[in-house]
Structure 1
Amino acid sequence: MIRLVLMGWLGLWASLMSQAQVVDCQTIGFEDGSFGGWERWTGEFSPYLFPLPYRLEPGSLHDFNGQYGHTITSVGDGYDPNVKERIPVVAPGSRHSVRLGDLDVGGFLDQLRTSFVVPIDKPLLRYQIAVVLQNPNHRPDQQPGFSLVVRTLNGDTIRCGYYEAVATNRTAGFIYQPSDEPSERLIYRNWTSHVLDLRAYVGQTLRLEVTAHDCSEGGHFGYAYFDAQCLATSISASSVCTPQGRQIRLAAPPGFDQYLWNTGDTTATVSVSPQLGTTYWVDLQSRSVLNPSCQTSLRLNYRVEQLQFPTVQQVRVCAGESYRVEDSLYTQPGTYHHAFHRPWGCDSLLITELIVLPTPSSTQQVTLCAGSQLVLGDSVYSQSGVYLNRFVRAAPLCDSLVTTQLLIRQIDLVPPRDTLIMQGDSIQVGVNPSIGTNYTYRWSPESGLSCPTCPITWASPSQPTLYQLAVSIPSTNCQTSYPLHVDVLACLLAVPTSFTPNGDGINDSFNVVLNPCLGRIRQLSIYNRWGQLIFHQELTSSLEKLFSWDGKYKGELVQTGVYGYQLTLESPTGKMSRHTGALTVIR
């Protein structure tokens, strides 16, 4: 399933990946506690997206739950909280790793990307993973999953450069954790190391993508821990020049599944008493459990050429700085051997123990209202996101890093529309907030409103009124205001001036319907031009609302002409009034 996702991703994002950040293979891991040259992408994983079952964009924050899809882990962070087996959140031998995905559900897909040039001195890529997937027993294409892929610039996946796992009880190398609690039923893989032999790609740029995602239905989580480093295809010695008979330690590259030295040792390091001209070798084989068809096998040799005491020095630098010995530039903590070649005897050896002082770092969370800006040094931010700023400090102090999690709070409502009512009527006005929003409301003026603190209220103004609805976010100073004009039409008496009782179905009767604001009609009288009463109707029921004359007198239609009428009205307060007028009958 993830393979199909990645194939689609390859075609869709090829142009973007061609400009991906490049990380130094020497620092491809996270030992400095930062993401370095890694790009962070996050998005949704759902069967309802088209044309691909995911949507990715640069970033790390999950808007749905406020968590981050990329987290640097440290040795002091302990163990994974969901697996009963004690799985450290940092890869063995490292100080920092990265967790890809959060610990909650939500249908998220998180990805790390980078590009690196394969160096001639360290052409082995060692990556370590630990994966935790809930197992909801969906279809394979809907399950939580994890994948890792290494490609060339042309988009071709290198040999053994692809690994994928989805949550099933038969996923190779995974352990099933049963539980009576459905949320605790998961499969997991403890830290696993694999080494890729990239000697065929020395000098070329390769792309590395690591992806973890929840299930496509959004109800089950999936996340992974990841670390990486580039290794040399050589045996390192604790001392190049040492006195005859004194032991030295030979170390093969770490991360291989099997070691076999010609001394019979099966560990990554051995101690030997070197003899001039002696050759030591070790056969290495990578862990094959990730892909049974892929194994990296090497034989490395080390020949004792010289014996002499080295010179040892200890050097301290700040993170991001370097230390140079002739043509060698060192940036990572460790012990480095540098031979000064001499035309006579044993070359002199300088052993440099490089200590990299950690960069002081801090994290702050800042919340601003929409339209505001955050100024940090020379940077100005106005969008939600995670920002990293470096502040220079005078030597010997190291520069400090400040990570800012900026949240921009915005009130997002559709403004109310102006409206019109008749005098004495009421109308419902206001805004319709989205589910999950938590705003406070205040209407002004409050007269004529049923609820001055509700988003939707009944308005009964006696005259045209301009209302203001103030909306604010609690515990912040974020506020906006919406105007609403309610126009009020006067309550007038409208009586037809003519009608045509000719039986064509159009305007065949004289009808009087009273606006409720005027009260009700008590009686209607029609007179001819001699003052003779020819029609009379009185209110007989509280349900009677229509007063109507069909133009007949004693069963016969009256002649075309002008007729007078008299209306007796009873106001809502019980006061009686009379209204007279003329109407024209047209036959």
Structure 2
Amino acid sequence: MPSDKDVFSLLFNYAVVLQNPKPRHDKMKQPKFTVNVYNVTDDKYIECPAFVFDAPGAELPGFVQSENTAANIEVWYKDWSTCALNLTGYGGKVIRLEFTTNDCVPSAHFCYAYLDINDTESYKPIGGNSYCNNQPNITLSGPVGYKEYHWFKTADMSTELGQERNLTVPSPPDGTGYTLKVIAYPDVGCNDVLYTVVNKIYSDFVFKIPDTVRICPGTNADLTASSVTMGSSSSLKFGYFINSSGADNEYLRDPKK
């Protein structure tokens, strides 16, 4: 882990497929996908973050039951999703990530997973905390994968502002602080309290896109083409989503197709 980073996280993308036998096995015998973080320097596991995905996944968002099932066996899958492993406070230590898939104990029912580890980066758990001079509203975004979100102004923790992952409010004065309490799903991470300070950028920006992108038959729609954002400020960076708001983290995997 970088020794010069006060706040740090690793990001990984995963997809999971597992069977759910009927009747169900005991919990310890079910197929499962687990994620653990081992502190090699101190020779011990880190209690949080840790994840356990067990069929059928009804308690967690994003799990879908496949239509391709055999008698008395359900197949559940979770499409590509992103998780953040918050490793703040471990600067200078050697950390090992452990990803494990287990079939059921009798070995008749499977679990497998796909993984894509992002580059390491300095991690700010709350996004959207900078806004430009002509921006009427801001949208603060908490980290993905928690069961509950509770937003407050740091200076006034008596009034809750929202209970969604994203919080949209009128652009506040420069330097306004916000607090986010996050509640984890059972066996999927830990509860946490996060803080952020909103910063105003004293310059305007322009963001222009057409409401429709037209293509010829047999060709691909390239949303990254300069013609799509022509007239926008040159310093903008773009993200692409399947849904209209991006609130559910439904990323568009390839914006060039």
Taking structure 1 as the reference length, the TM-score comes to 0.27
Q: Which amino acid aligns with 1:213?
A: N
Q: Which amino acid aligns with 1:163?
A: F
Change (3 A) 1:275 1:281: closer
Is 2:47 the counterpart of 1:152? Answer: no
Deviation at 1:121, TM superposition (A): 7.2
* Structure 1 match to 2:125: 233
C-alpha separation in 1, matches of 2:15 and 2:138:
29
Change (3 A) 1:182 1:172: same
Are the aligned partners of 1:249 and 1:271 in contact in 2 as well (CA < 8 Å)?
A: yes
Per-residue deviation, residues 287-323 of structure 1 (Å, max 9, x unmatched): 23225xx5232232324455332588xxxxxxxxxxx
Which residues of 2 match residues 78-97 of structure 1 at below 5 A? none
Which residues of 2 match residues 541-580 of structure 1 at below 5 A? none
Q: Which amino acid aligns with 1:145?
A: K
Q: Which amino acid aligns with 1:224?
A: A
Question: Identity across aligned pairs (percent)?
Answer: 17
* Structure 1 match to 2:21: 135
Are the aligned partners of 2:183 and 2:192 in contact in 1 as well (CA < 8 Å)?
A: yes
Deviation at 1:222, TM superposition (A): 1.9
Q: Which structure: greater helix fraction? A: 1
Change (3 A) 1:350 1:236: farther
Q: Give 1:220's match in structure 2, choosing from 109, 116, 135.
A: 109
Q: Looking at CA atoms only, which structure, 1 or 2, has the larger radius of gyration?
A: 1
Taking structure 2 as the reference length, the TM-score comes to 0.53
Deviation at 1:203, TM superposition (A): 4.1
Q: Which amino acid aligns with 2:136?
A: Q
Q: Which amino acid aligns with 2:128?
A: S
Change (3 A) 1:277 1:223: closer
Q: Which amino acid aligns with 1:123?
A: F
Change (3 A) 1:189 1:119: farther
* Structure 2 match to 1:120: 5
Deviation at 1:186, TM superposition (A): 3.3
The number of residues matched between the two structures is: 196
C-alpha separation in 2, matches of 1:275 and 1:131:
44
Are the aligned partners of 1:152 and 1:206 in contact in 2 as well (CA < 8 Å)?
A: yes
* Structure 2 match to 1:249: 138
C-alpha separation in 2, matches of 1:133 and 1:219:
9
C-alpha separation in 2, matches of 1:264 and 1:209:
37
> Aligned to 1:232, what secondary structure does the other structure show?
coil
Deviation at 1:280, TM superposition (A): 4.0
Are the aligned partners of 2:178 and 2:197 in contact in 1 as well (CA < 8 Å)?
A: yes
Deviation at 1:185, TM superposition (A): 1.4
C-alpha separation in 1, matches of 2:199 and 2:49:
35
Per-residue deviation, residues 444-464 of structure 1 (Å, max 9, x unmatched): xxxxxxxxxxxxxxxxxxxxx
Q: Give 2:74's match in structure 1, choosing from 178, 186, 192.
A: 186
Q: Which structure: greater strand fraction? A: 1
> Aligned to 1:353, what secondary structure does the other structure show?
coil
Which residues of 2 match residues 27-176 of structure 1 at below 5 A? 120=5, 123-125=8-10, 130-135=16-21, 144-154=31-41, 155-164=43-52, 173=59
Are the aligned partners of 1:135 and 1:144 in contact in 2 as well (CA < 8 Å)?
A: no
* Structure 2 match to 1:208: 97
* Structure 2 match to 1:302: 197
Deviation at 1:183, TM superposition (A): 4.7
Are the aligned partners of 1:148 and 1:162 in contact in 2 as well (CA < 8 Å)?
A: yes
Are the aligned partners of 1:146 and 1:212 in contact in 2 as well (CA < 8 Å)?
A: yes
Q: Which amino acid aligns with 1:156?
A: K
Q: CA RMSD in A?
A: 4.6
Deviation at 1:195, TM superposition (A): 5.1
Is 2:157 the counterpart of 1:260? Answer: no
C-alpha separation in 2, matches of 1:147 and 1:261:
32
Are the aligned partners of 1:235 and 1:300 in contact in 2 as well (CA < 8 Å)?
A: no
Per-residue deviation, residues 545-566 of structure 1 (Å, max 9, x unmatched): xxxxxxxxxxxxxxxxxxxxxx
